[in-house]
Amino acid sequence: MISISRTRGDKIFDIANTLFFAIVLIVTIYPLYFMLIASFSSPTAVNNGEIWLWPKDITFKGYEMIFDHSKIWTGYKNSIIYTVVGTTINVVLTITGGYALSRKDLPGRNIFMFFIVFTMFFSGGMIPSYLLVKDLGMVNTMWALIVPGAISAYNLIIVRTFFQSTIPDELLEAGIMDGCTNLKFFTNVVIPLSKPIIAVMVLFHAVGHWNAYFSALIYLRDTALYPLQLVLREVLILTQANEVVENSGALVESSKEMANVSGLIKYGIVIIASLPMLILYPFIQKHFVKGVMIGSIKG
């Protein structure tokens, strides 16, 4: 076994690199950690800047009011529906389309790729997109948040690249010699070998659907269809936290206390909205990193 001696410069570099990424980690994690401890700390302590590392005068009043408010739970349910249905459609279309474009025997595949890449540089814009969705009768329906973004050109190229670099042509030739049809080869051979890229696409699209609010802001009018992120926007930007307090039936003695409780609600909703993605990401983090690197392997 060959041992490689490390120079003093290498050690200094490692120390500097570790310190740098430790700082990046702290800067990235601390805002979320602060919101977590602030969501069940005393509002007065938070407003006075007394909360740094540990919660103070723990109270769960904010979470109690959140759980008592039906609009937030409706938004949570809508976001889950949009994410599950939208991600399923996205993954099915992206995987099947990417595989088809990776096949060298697909007639005109270069022409198809040209038009797909073309859409990454030019688009109709917001107004033509809205008119199209309106003409299709999808305004104020859940499909307005799912159908227009059913295919992502960037993700389609990533999947195509994965198939080109992972599924050898010889494997298909061997399958055909054994009497395997294209559909059977895709379902029995390609899909089992594509679990990493499927996991990547699930994460990409699920995060996109869960965090999306702009499309809902444009296409939805019925508050019963609002996703959680749009409800969160109302609370954070349109100062709807007071309405949450009133609707929950809580007794607030003064406007100052109302403002304090509103702050607790804002922090609590951010934590609740972030939980699903925070729970999902660690399980497929390694596939996420691999998916980011796929596009640089073969273009």
The model's pLDDT over 128-177, given as tens digits with 9 standing for 90+, comes to: 888 989 999 999 999 999 998 898 888 898 889 888 888 887 887 787 78
Are 156 and 94 in contact by the 8 Å Cβ rule? The answer is: yes
Residues of the chain where predicted confidence (pLDDT) is lower than 50: 1, 239-241, 243, 250-254, 295, 297-299
Q: Domains in the chain: how many in total?
A: 1
pLDDT at 256: 55
Token reading at 82: 């949009």
Q: Is residue 26 in some structural domain?
A: no
Please state, as a whole number, how many other Cβ atoms lie within 10 Å of the Cβ of residue 79.
25
Q: Is residue 72 in some structural domain?
A: yes
Q: Is residue 21 in some structural domain?
A: no
226: domain CATH number is 1.10.3720.10
pLDDT at 240: 46
pTM: 0.76
pLDDT at 237: 63
Are 117 and 235 in contact by the 8 Å Cβ rule? The answer is: no
Q: Is residue 32 in some structural domain?
A: no
- Give the integer Cα–Cα distance in Å for 215 and 145: 6
Q: Is residue 3 in some structural domain?
A: no
Q: What is the CA radius of gyration of the chain?
A: 25
Are 205 and 90 in contact by the 8 Å Cβ rule? The answer is: yes
Q: Is residue 256 in some structural domain?
A: yes
- Give the integer Cα–Cα distance in Å for 88 and 86: 5
Q: Is residue 22 in some structural domain?
A: no
Question: What is the extent of the structural domain holding 221?
Answer: 65-294
Q: Is residue 5 in some structural domain?
A: no
Token reading at 208: 């996109």
- Proportion of the chain in helix, strand, coil states, percent, rounded to 5: 75, 0, 25
pLDDT at 248: 52
pLDDT at 19: 93
